[in-house]
Structure 1
Amino acid sequence: MRKVRDYDAELKALGNKAKTLKAKKVQQLGELVASTGADALDADVLAGALLHIVAEAQVEANREAWRSDGAAFFQRRGRKSGKGDTGDGQGTSETATSSSQS
């Protein structure tokens, strides 16, 4: 005799798993914002910067440069073993300050 499948239970389990994965993604994005020092920016500034990045992401050269910078950031973070991000946070804010004054 065939075993009856409980589609409702399977659907509920998949929904719960999707919620868990989404919550994990949101948490990781928040940690990324904090680790790069971007949490010091106003929400409006950060949102605007992200919108500009999304618009510029259509250019493959931009994405490749960002990818290599991101990989280097994570490699440095791994070597520091969780210590503060004094080098990255200061460099980012100096760049942002000089860009806004131009």
Structure 2
Amino acid sequence: MRKPRDIDAELKALAEKTKQLKERRVQQLGELVIATGADTIDAETLAGALLVIAETSDPAKRESWRKRGAAFFQSKGRNAGKGAQREQGSAGTPDSNAASA
């Protein structure tokens, strides 16, 4: 006879996995801010800049920013940003979701 599935346990496990993934994403975004040196900018200015980026629909600008970001992650010393020496290697390569955020 087949064992019945424990749906509640599966949902609980999925909820925990979702929580862990969200926490990891937040941590990676914070590490990215530090690695780029943007942690020296006040929160209001940083939020404003991110809003402008999110609202920009010009494909040429977005591609330019993407290339610059890719070059930042490919540089071994990560010396593209001012904060590079403080947190070398902590940002890692973000997943596709983080890169689009």
TM bracket (short chain) = 0.7 to 0.9
C-alpha RMSD over aligned residues: 1.6
Q: Does 1:4 align with 2:4?
A: yes
The equivalent of 2:90 in structure 1 is none
| Aligned-partner residue type, residue 73 of structure 1 | F
Q: Which residue of 2 is the match for residue 89 of structure 1?
A: 82
Structure 1 or 2: more helix by fraction: 1
Q: Tell me, in whole angstroms, the C-alpha distance in 2 between the residues paired with 1:88 and 1:20.
A: 29
- TM-score normalised to structure 2 length: 0.76
Aligned residue-pair number: 83
CA distance, structure 2, for counterparts of residue 43 and residue 64 of structure 1: 25
Query: Which runs of 5 or more structure 2 residues have no equivalent in the other structure?
Result: 84-101
Shift of 1:10: 0.1
Query: 2:89: which partner in 1?
Result: none
User: SS at 1:70's partner residue?
Assistant: helix
Q: Which residue of 1 aligns with 2:15?
A: 15
**Structure 1 residue 3 displacement after superposition:** 1.3
Identity of aligned residues (%): 58
Specify which structure has the bigger relative contact order, considering alpha-carbon pairs within 8 angstroms and separated by 6 or more residues.
2
Q: CA deviation at 1:38?
A: 0.4
1:23-42 alpha-carbon deviations (Å, 9 max, x no partner): 00000000000000000000
- Largest Rg, 1 or 2: 1
Query: Which residue pairs with 1:24 in the alignment?
Result: 24
Name the CA distance, whole Å, in 1 between partners of 2:61 and 2:3. 53
Give the drift of 1:88: 2.1
Gaps of 5+ in 1: 91-102
Q: Which structure 1 residue ranges, 4+ long, deviate > 2 Å from structure 2?
A: none
Deviations for 1:48-75, whole angstroms, at most 9, x for unmatched residues?
110011111x221122111110010011
